[in-house]
Amino acid sequence: MASSKLCASRTELKVLGPRPATLTGRAVRSSRVQIIRRRSSTVLCSVAPNQVESPAAQTFVADVPKKTECFGVFCTTYDLKAEEETKSWKSLINISVSGAAGMISNHLLFKLASGEVFGLDQPIALKLLGSERSIQALEGVAMELEDSLYPLLREVSIGIDPYEVFQDAEWALLIGAKPRGPGMERAGLLDINGQIFAEQGKALNAVASRNVKVIVVGNPCNTNALICLKNAPNIPPKNFHALTRLDENRAKCQLALKAGVFYDKVSNMTIWGNHSTTQVPDFLNARIDGRPVKEVITDSKWLEEEFTERVQKRGGVLIQKWGRSSAASTAVSIVDAMRSLVTPTPEGDWFSSGVYTNGNPYGIAEDIVFSMPCRSRGDGDYELAKDVLIDDFLRARLKKTEAELLAEKRCVAHLTGEGNAFCDLPEDTMLPGEQ
């Protein structure tokens, strides 16, 4: 998603579905799709790095079709036989997704609609955020979702204004970000994408649920998550996550391959730190079939050198093989990250997520977003794992990735309310495939 100027005309396709309700006897359900075109009296623009303007409250609705047009499953009307009645409907979960016309979302949205995250008895509403350039593509995404006839997908809306799309959001999946162009420095990418996430943080603060769970995917995701939470003071910082689950999944795969086991035997895998080449895949605490990895894989040189490099370069190797980035596996990892928060963590295990460091038990610097081992009771919240070993080798690597995140924080100080920015990034550490 680019931080380019947005013009005054906005087009919104809104799919309005029925709110689930308890049904008795024979019931008839119907839903509708309405296309609404709105004109705003103001222009939404990129603003100064430390400012994001709210959209003007006054809007004018025009060109509303005289007759509501219906498409796909959202127009279905049917009778429920007594034996088919749903005994109890859960309330809709509102999920907002930025970058919704992109490749990652093209895989992710259909997984969400199918019930992979919240279960086969949980209806959802999808609110899709794009840009002026992607509005027609968003309409196409909505049409495909309609044609897929997902019974749990009750509502779909699209727009380019985060203050509208994030309204009442209970989950916000922030995927859209500007890709790094040729010759662009890491500091430049931090500033450009930081402005996007500052704006989205303010929008979440203004209109989302007070308990919204936010997963930041757009890179550099750790610092983007920090910017976002700093611009959303009314939302608990603990609710913000930077996605490092794909790195965890890749690390599990490499350990399983080396040990000659299936990957479900690998547990307690932690990715520490930044989503960059300074990330630390932790083989000290990981387990294979319940045993410490170092007891199963005795090749210390492979663990300390090749293992980490393979995890870091996996995305670049994939691009070399088929010419595109890892959109599908990223979507899977987003689903995994969400499920880890809504499903109780298996006894003794944990999962990786980039979270706010205040109060952490590992000696990591506070006030940054750092990937650490987490456990959840399945209520959307988490706690940090405490039974974690840190030896001198691991500590040295943690310090390196910590130093990078502190440098990134200084580089975006103008976006977090901490004064003037000062960039002293030590080196270019973007992961292969993200440049």
Burial class (CB in 10 A: 0-12, 13-18, 19+), 154: buried
Measured in whole angstroms, the distance separating CA 52 from the mean position of its chain's CA atoms is 21
Q: Using CA atoms, how far apart are residues 223 and 417, in angstroms rounded to an integer?
A: 14
- Contact yes or no for 302/258 (Cβ under 8 A): yes
Judge whether 107 counts as a catalytic residue.
no
Task: Tell whether the torsion through CA atoms of 390, 395, 398 and 403 is positive or negative.
Answer: positive
Residue 22's CB is within 10 A of a number of other CB atoms, namely 10
Whether residue 220 is preceded by a cis peptide bond, meaning omega within 30 degrees of 0, is yes
- Contact yes or no for 188/145 (Cβ under 8 A): no
DSSP E strand stretches across 257-364: 266-267, 270-272, 280-282, 287-288, 291-292, 351-356
Tokens of 9: 């005309």
Name the residue with tokens 């590992």.
362
Per residue, the 3-state secondary structure of 96-120, as one string, reads EEECCCCHHHHHHHHHHHHCCCCCC
Q: Using CA atoms, how far apart are residues 165 and 171, in angstroms rounded to an integer?
A: 12
The DSSP string of 172-215 is: EEE---PPPPTT--HHHHHHHHHHHHHHHHHHHHHHS-TT-EEE
Q: Using CA atoms, how far apart are residues 191 and 50, in angstroms rounded to an integer?
A: 10
Catalytic residue (choose from 107, 241, 275, 414): 275
Q: Which of 238, 172, 243, 244 is nearest to 202 (CA)?
A: 172
Active site residues: 275
